Amino acid sequence: MSSPYQAIRAAAHENPRAFWEQAAQDVSWIEPPKVTLDDSNPPFYRWFVGGKINGCYNAVDRHVDAGRGAQTAIIYDSPVTETIAHISYAELQDKIAHLAGAIAARGIGYGDRVIIYMPMIPEAVIAMLACARIGAVHSVVFGGFAAAELAKRIDDATPKMILTASCGIEPSRIIAYKPLIDEAIETATHKVSDVILMQRPQCNASLIDGRDHDWDAVTAAARPHPCVPVNSEDPAYILYTSGTTGTPKGVVRPTGGHIVALNWSMPNIYDCRAGDVYWAASDVGWVVGHSYIVYAPLFAGCTTVLFEGKPVGTPDATTFWRVISQHKVRAMFTAPTAIRAIKKEDPEGHLIKQFDMSHFAYQFLAGERCDPDTLHWCQDKLGVPAIDHWWQTETGWSIAANCAGIDLLPIKAGSSGPAAPTWDVRILAEDGSEKPVGEIGSVVAKLPMPPGTLPTLWQNDTRFVESYLSAFPGFYETGDAGYIDEDGYLFIMARTDDIINVAGHRLSTGGMEEVLAGHHDVAECAVIGINDALKGQIPLGFVILKSGIERAGEVIIAEIVQRVRDQIGPVAAFKQAVIVQRLPKTRSGKILRRTMQSIVNGDDFTIPATIDDPAIIEEIADAVRIAGIKDSTS
């Protein structure tokens, strides 16, 4: 396979330093870096050493200085409050500068940590960029996260301040944030001295004298604060990985590297440039929100959509298409689970036809493995390329991607595309040997990784090495399993611990999920491995049916079982499936397969703090009991 993209990738692979040195010329430096890559202390690599830069300046001020202050920077679309607002780059600059002044007036400065605990409102973006403006390190915690989990993050990041709002709004309820903040501060060993709170009209929070401050009052009284120079290798933010137990892992994002990498990614991966409208339907509490709601679109001078709602239920399954049509979105990025939720309500895509989508160019998918059925549905119903790409909280941007802005390669369903420039991705066996083409193994990346990726964990170099670098020395262990085909396309099949061993055969649950998802009555599915006395493990499927299906569940399950037998073979030993109404997921949309496995196997487990709705756990347990499924070793 030969293409312009492959030529660029080959040159980048040959000389990564030169590639990123060139990309670094497209951002605004206060002082240019003296060293592009410092590899003197492996495995701790540093990019753009000696440079000074400011993330807020690159996201906002440089566009105002270039004469584009009147352009819309943020479109705030909130169906839960029936609000749509447009904020220009000049207006955004003013709001950020005043909040930065208010923060600085409370004694927060360069290198201090600030926790941001916010809903999807413009003030969340303003808070992040105000920290970047003064060189403070922000740590965004998903709004509504449990107080105990927030307390762990307070103790690890040791912030001086929390920026928050009085509430978050779900389609069916209002979540008061202040009681959670108060409990977390009380529980944490480290004590936070200041809280600045945005009062929302839907819920008024009481303030504690001396510690709590009203957002509007302090920003109105503040003097605007200028951008301060930040060392390129200093942290822009700390983001704690979801689904962790015990002490959370604080992923560090180096300032210069993340500006250069994200700025490069917008035109080259997403084919979006200054003035284009870009929408990442995620939350600022997750890495997608950091990279592709806030920083990357603004670095590139785009208009970013900030959406406070759900793919269905605010008010219905037309919401995504209404937003794309109304705001003239060029490219949209969401998780496959959001598309599956829409597909469940509107399998034939009739609702899309209500909207003018002529300006819409790309549907990007990431955040979890995208099954081919979901990808094909997007392409068929939307009439645009549906592009799966793969990356992680730790990396901050794509490891593998079909770079639409360089050269859109043929799309292969089930693949996230070839490795992005300067990523050296390998498939390794347990003994560290390289797997042949087409064979599944551990997906790793050769060190050093590109700019913008984590250089370490917050104040924990030892845990960084143990968690990511110890299994395969010289490589970053992604924790995912997959294979690379003869064209260099990467196929992510499952998390490494989701590979199940059936009578000595290592089988991918993702491969089985593809087969289940291809059944015409199935809207969404998951496959887990459960204990079996004879085979070690056997697969168990969970399926959600499309709306309006009236066929007998036993018939559908029999068809699903036969599909797996026909398409994967008897070796899969797939004989059981359960029909459920919903699957347990994190708030970012990842299915909690390990938790489901523990339920069926009867193992002890802790309900993850990131779960969307804890009541689903009992629903799954009931469905398993009713179906008579149990761990056959017990």
SS3 565: helix
Cα–Cα nearest to 53, from 343, 212, 258, 255: 255
| Distance in angstroms (rounded) separating the CA atoms of residues 160 and 143 | 18
pLDDT beyond 70 at 415: yes
What is the topology classification, in CATH, of domain 503-627?
GMP Synthetase; Chain A, domain 3 (3.30.300)
Structure tokens at 556: 């559908």
Amino acid letter, 184: A
Q: Which helix (H) or strand (E) holds 231?
A: strand 230-231
Residue 244: which residues within 8 A CB-CB, separation 6 or more? Answer: none
SS3 99: helix
Percent of the chain with pLDDT over 90: 78
Can you name the residues that pair with 522 across neighbouring β-strands? 545
| Distance in angstroms (rounded) separating the CA atoms of residues 545 and 105 | 55
HSE-CB at 236 with a 13 A cutoff on CA atoms is: 31
pLDDT beyond 90 at 197: yes
Q: In what order do the strands lie in the sheet with 113-117?
A: 212-214, 194-198, 161-165, 113-117, 137-140, 235-240, 250-254
Mean pLDDT (whole number) for 209-216: 98
Structure confidence by residue, pLDDT tens digits, 460-519: 999 999 999 999 999 999 999 999 999 999 999 877 767 777 766 667 788 889 899 999
What is the topology classification, in CATH, of domain 4-309+389-483?
Rossmann fold (3.40.50)
Residue pair 437/486 in contact (Cβ under 8 Å)? The answer is: yes
pLDDT of residue 632: 53
Q: Report domain extents, the chain.
A: 4-309+389-483, 503-627
pTM: 0.87
Residue pair 425/490 in contact (Cβ under 8 Å)? The answer is: yes
Cα–Cα nearest to 1, from 417, 371, 343: 417
Residue 519: which residues within 8 A CB-CB, separation 6 or more? Answer: 543, 556, 559, 560, 563
For residue 1, count other CB atoms closer than 10 A to its CB. Answer: 11
Angle between helices 16-23 and 4-14 (to 10 degrees): 110
* Neighbour-count burial of 463, counting CB atoms closer than 10 A to its CB (0-12 exposed, 13-18 middle, 19+ buried): middle
Mean pLDDT (whole number) for 446-471: 97
Q: Where are the alpha helices (DSSP H) in 367-518?
A: 372-382, 461-464, 509-517
Can you name the residues that pair with 277 across neighbouring β-strands? 303
Mean pLDDT (the chain) is 93
Structure confidence by residue, pLDDT tens digits, 526-560: 999 888 877 778 899 999 999 989 899 999 999 99
9 vs 501, more confident: 9
Concatenating the DSSP letter of every residue in 345-400 gives H-TT-GGGGGS--TT--EEEE-SSPPPHHHHHHHHHHH-S-EEE-B--TTTSS-SB
pLDDT of residue 485: 97
Length of the chain: 634
Structure confidence by residue, pLDDT tens digits, 567-618: 887 778 899 999 999 998 877 677 888 888 888 888 888 777 777 788 888 8
| Distance in angstroms (rounded) separating the CA atoms of residues 164 and 194 | 11
For residue 451, count other CB atoms closer than 10 A to its CB. Answer: 30
| Range of weakest confidence among 101-110, 113-122, 407-416, 524-533 | 524-533
pLDDT of residue 634: 47
For residue 337, count other CB atoms closer than 10 A to its CB. Answer: 21
Give how far Cα 607 sits from Cα of 170, 177, 225, 338, Å. Answer: 21, 21, 43, 23
| Distance in angstroms (rounded) separating the CA atoms of residues 58 and 296 | 10
Mean pLDDT (whole number) for 39-53: 98
Amino acid letter, 190: H
